[in-house]
């Protein structure tokens, strides 16, 4: 997978957090339902060796529905604090997805015309997303509760960015 592919495609969950069915391709890597869509070859390091992995997804998640699962997970982290590895994985996936959608929102604000209500609406979404991303840069190793609150905020920002679909998503 090239750097461009990595930046333009959704971030997959960490392999260590997947079920056996998700690992062997029978279940969607995002939601766990029956997988029908191949997501292509992915390489990962395991004990110093490069291992090829061929994840799969269900049709709704492959068509962009995985974002709904990310948002739902982000909204629930403060109620049900997941284990730190799962929380860290969710946080990285949320950051990745917000960063994927941010340029589309910035383009929409630029095209809308300076001073228009549409421009201000797009810019509000952009500014809030940038604030959520930069707030995280302050602390390298936050406590699980702080990380959960950051996940929740990124989930809110991702919810605002849902209309801004990256190229390649349906």
Q: Where are the domains of the chain?
A: 3-59, 64-161
H or E element: which one contains 45?
A: strand 42-46
Question: In the 8-state DSSP scheme, what is residue 50?
Answer: E
On the CB side of 38, how many CA atoms lie within 13 Å of its CA? 5
How many Å apart are CA 129 and CA 100, to the nearest integer?
A: 11
Predicted pLDDT at 127: 95
Mean pLDDT by 10 residues, the chain (170 residues): 50 81 87 87 80 85 85 91 90 91 92 89 94 78 89 94 75
């Amino acid at each position: 997978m090239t750097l461009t592919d990595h930046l333009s495609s959704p971030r997959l969950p960490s392999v260590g957090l997947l079920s056996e069915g998700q690992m062997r391709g029978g279940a969607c890597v995002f939601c766990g339902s029956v997988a029908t869509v191949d997501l292509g070859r992915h390489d990962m390091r395991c004990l110093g060796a490069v291992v090829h992995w061929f994840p799969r997804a269900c049709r709704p998640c492959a068509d962009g529905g995985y974002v709904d699962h990310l948002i739902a997970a982000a909204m629930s982290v403060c109620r049900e604090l997941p284990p730190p590895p799962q929380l860290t994985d969710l946080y990285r996936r949320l950051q990745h997805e917000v960063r994927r959608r941010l340029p589309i929102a910035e383009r929409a604000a630029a095209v809308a015309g300076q001073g228009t209500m549409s421009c201000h609406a797009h810019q509000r979404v952009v500014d809030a997303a940038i604030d959520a991303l930069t707030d995280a840069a302050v602390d390298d190793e936050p406590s699980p509760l702080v990380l959960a609150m950051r996940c929740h905020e990124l989930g809110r920002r991702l919810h605002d960015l849902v209309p801004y679909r990256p190229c390649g998503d349906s």
